[in-house]
Structure 1
């Protein structure tokens, strides 16, 4: 009886194996029935998808580059703005040192010599960072100078007296020179 049951179980397993093989063979036959046209359609579809993804990737790279450039421009602008504010504050110290030298008169004292050296050092440092004095020798220029009065001893359109020096930072005006102009 046990042998009969074992035999029946083996027969049942053999039948299942045969059914699986026939199902597998049928699936392989169905795959073999895939036509060349359908494969070419799939290839065309995949190529189209690939082109679309390449375009999306190129667009993403372009956008990333533009973002980096924009951030760099904004950082540079911010740096210039901070430098400009800092430079304007330092110009007050330059003015005060120049007034101290004028108040010292003609007598060369050690204190006056120290003030002159300090002013020279400060102006050298400012020049390293692109801060230069505005030209007041080559006549009046409304873009660089602010006329605050008329100097009767100066020629027409010439600068007679400079009341306060002007400064520019990398070609941009920080502060116009306050001058008196001839009439």
Structure 2
């Protein structure tokens, strides 16, 4: 009976070993499957991360470009509005200059008030970039509009200025109307 019990014990032991072996193989296969599955999942997540980083970088780039475009458009609009406003004020400058010319040499409180008003207006315009076009250095077709010939002036020299010209931030706002020597 002891032999029989030993034999049964050995058979149970052998069955246990076989079950452990099968279990170990199953665990190993499952571990291999798990490792492979995890490696695939990691690769997939890394790819997703790269894609999201690229999308984020693209979105940031587009946002920066939009901000720059809006700033350019805003500056252009501001310049256009300032140009229109300055052109309208030039008529007032011309009228004040005509009033001073009409008074002539006679100085009155009224003529001095007009001169001070003109000076104040020109100072304000200069603060915003409006400057009188230079007519002392000869004729320049980009800055001057020749409206006639002055027989007393030298060739390509400005003889008489009929209306002053102005620039706004180095851009021509209104050309100077001049008489040029032939």
Displaced runs of 4+ in structure 1, greater than 3 A?
30-34
Question: Matched residue of 2:145: which SS?
Answer: strand
Question: Is structure 2 residue 138 aligned with structure 1 residue 139?
Answer: yes
Question: Is structure 2 residue 54 aligned with structure 1 residue 68?
Answer: no
| Counterpart for residue 36 of structure 1 | 35
Q: CA RMSD in A?
A: 1.6
Question: Matched residue of 2:105: which SS?
Answer: coil
Question: Matched residue of 2:63: which SS?
Answer: helix
Work out the CA distance in 2 between the residues paired with 1:31 and 1:160: 102
Work out the CA distance in 1 between the residues paired with 2:171 and 2:156: 23
Return 5+ residue gaps in structure 2 as ranges: 1-28
Return 5+ residue gaps in structure 1 as ranges: 1-29
| Counterpart for residue 156 of structure 2 | 157
Question: Matched residue of 1:162: which SS?
Answer: strand
Aligned length: 156
Question: Matched residue of 1:35: which SS?
Answer: helix
| Counterpart for residue 83 of structure 1 | 82
Which segment is superposed worse, 30-39 or 64-73?
30-39
Normalised TM-score (structure 1) = 0.82
Work out the CA distance in 2 between the residues paired with 1:103 and 1:124: 22
The one-character-per-residue Cα deviations of 1:71-117 (angstroms, maximum 9, x if unpaired) are 00000000000000000000000000000000001011110000000
Work out the CA distance in 1 between the residues paired with 2:36 and 2:134: 81
Alignment of 1:93-104 (within 5 A): 93-104=92-103
The one-character-per-residue Cα deviations of 1:95-151 (angstroms, maximum 9, x if unpaired) are 000000000010111100000000000000000000000000000000000000000
The alpha-carbon deviation at position 32 of structure 1 amounts to: 5.7
Q: If you compute each CA radius of gyration, which structure gives the higher value, 1 or 2?
A: 2
| Counterpart for residue 45 of structure 1 | 44
Work out the CA distance in 2 between the residues paired with 1:63 and 1:31: 47
Question: Matched residue of 1:153: which SS?
Answer: coil
